[in-house]
Amino acid sequence: MSKTIIFILLAMTALANAALFDQVIDKEWLTFAMEHRKNYKDAAEEQLRHKIFKENRIKIAEHNRRFANGEVSFKMAVNEYSDLTSQEFSDLMTGLNNSELEEMRIFDQSLNGKTFISPDYVTLPESVDWRSEGAVTGVKNQKSCGSCWAFSTTGSLEGQHFRKTGNLVSLSEQNLVDCSGGSYGNHGCSGGTMTRAFKYIKDNGGIDTEESYPYKAVNDKCKFNRATIGATINGFVALPAGDEKKLAEAVATIGPISVAIHVVPGSFQHYSSGVYIEPKCNPKKINHAVLAVGYGTEGGRDFWLVKNSWGGSWGDKGYIKMLRNGNNQCGISSMACYPTV
Q: How far is CA 59 from CA 38, 51, 69, in A?
A: 21, 13, 16
CA distance 10 to 52: 28
The Cα–Cα gap between 313 and 304 comes to 20
CA dist 268 and 1 (Å) reads 48
- Residue 211 CB contacts under 8 Å (≥ 6 apart), including other chains: 170, 228
- Cα gap 305→297, rounded to integer Å: 10
Q: What is the Cα gyration radius of the chain?
A: 22
**Residues classed as catalytic:** 148, 288, 308
Q: What is the distance between the alpha carbons of residues 26 and 17, in angstroms, rounded to a whole number?
A: 14
Of the chain, the end-to-end C-alpha distance in Å amounts to 81
Query: 246 and 55 in contact (C-beta within 8 Å)?
Result: no
Question: What does DSSP assign to residue 303?
Answer: E
Neighbours of 188 (CB within 10 A): 22
CA gap 244, 259 in Å, rounded: 11
The rounded distance, in Å, linking the Cα atoms of 311 and 259 is 18
Which residues in 90-109 are b (16+ Cβ under 10 Å) and which e?
bebbbbbbeeebeebeebbe
185 vs 207: CA distance, rounded Å:
17
CB 228 within 8 A of CB 209: yes
For CA atoms 17, 66, 282, 339, give the dihedral sign. Answer: positive
CA dist., res. 30 & res. 38, Å (int): 10
